[in-house]
Amino acid sequence: MFKTLRKLGAVTAASLLVATAAAAGGDPVKINVIGTWNSMTNYNNREAPFWRGLPKASGGQFISTIGSYSEFGLKGFEIMRLLKQGVFDYAYGLPGYVAAEDAVFEGGDLAAVTQDIETERKVAEAYFPVLEKAFAEIYNAKLLQLYPFPSQILYCKPEIRGLADLKGKKIRVYATTLGDFVEGVGGTSVTVPFGEVIPALEKGVVDCGITGTMSAYTAKWYQAADYAYTMRVGWGLAFGAMNMDKWNSMTAEQQADLKARLDKLTDRMWAETAKEDDVAIQCLTGDSCPVAPDAPTGGMTLVTPTEEDLAARDRIAQEVILARWAKRCGPDCAETWNQTVGKILGLTAKAD
């Protein structure tokens, strides 16, 4: 009975919003959205509230629904194919999940080359036009957002004291460029879906895993890993893109309205993620967790990189990560990166 009443209330609310939009002149735009993982703050605090609140915020001009990878049983690698097919109108995902189609998608978040979130935003903005073109040509999609997850670090079950201890370890990665980093330090890269990392650690399928700080905390990786090694090897740069046919079906006014709203959401994503990084590390390794009064702590051992570790990382970034990516992407792609991201970082990708 209560479920029926709730459904009736939802239908009534939707009908009122549609009527409001019609009165304002113009049919409402219906948008079916697939977000990231419902165990993570980007989805719970930013993606889902934005799209669920959009119908009311827009006065019924946009009627949107959103579900997560978790709810749909998706792993992420199939997202852009589904968007291209029109299964979803708007999709969130990680460029590393679509890089198999073209290495150009990796260029905004190459492993170990960007060490702070302020610089990563400059990188994302410089590389946005390159990715925008690639999304349009390869996936018939309009790129509208680039935003970060908290910094990507390593979580290990065996004892880790520094970079040298990663040699010989099996390490979970989710992108080719992270695999380059792992192999550059002498480890073996293993691809494991996010939701399967804890059992993989418990069974010894992997010794370590790479993911964002808050992602690791909310997904409780501390149940299977004992050491948090805070060498930043990436930012989990993510995208939000709309099916191009859907985008083109909107009027210029509707496009401008939606883009303005998404731009504000993107600003929030960068600002809030910047604050979450230190909080998550405290929750994973500290005596208290400020996420909530009764939030559990992870009890992990904090391992910070030494100056020698950082110097070795820089060498691996230039000699292995950039070199391999430039070869995958090709001379023209590498030169475009040099003229955009490379100028910000003071690095050069050479395809030969």
Q: Give the integer Cα–Cα distance in Å for 199 and 304.
A: 26
Give exposure, 304-314, as e/b (b: 16+ Cβ within 10 Å).
ebeeebeebbe
CATH no. of 9-148+236-275: 3.40.190.170
Q: What is the pLDDT of residue 40?
A: 87
Mean pLDDT, consecutive 10-residue segments, the chain of 352 residues?
37 42 67 94 96 98 97 92 97 89 94 93 98 97 96 97 97 94 97 93 98 93 97 94 98 98 98 93 96 93 96 94 96 97 95 76
**Residue 126 in contact with residue 340, Cβ under 8 Å?**
yes
**In which residue ranges of the chain is CATH 3.40.190.170 found?**
9-148+236-275, 152-235+277-345
Segment 64-94, tens digit of pLDDT: 999 999 999 998 889 999 999 999 999 999 9
Q: What percent of the chain has pLDDT over 70?
A: 93
CATH no. of 152-235+277-345: 3.40.190.170
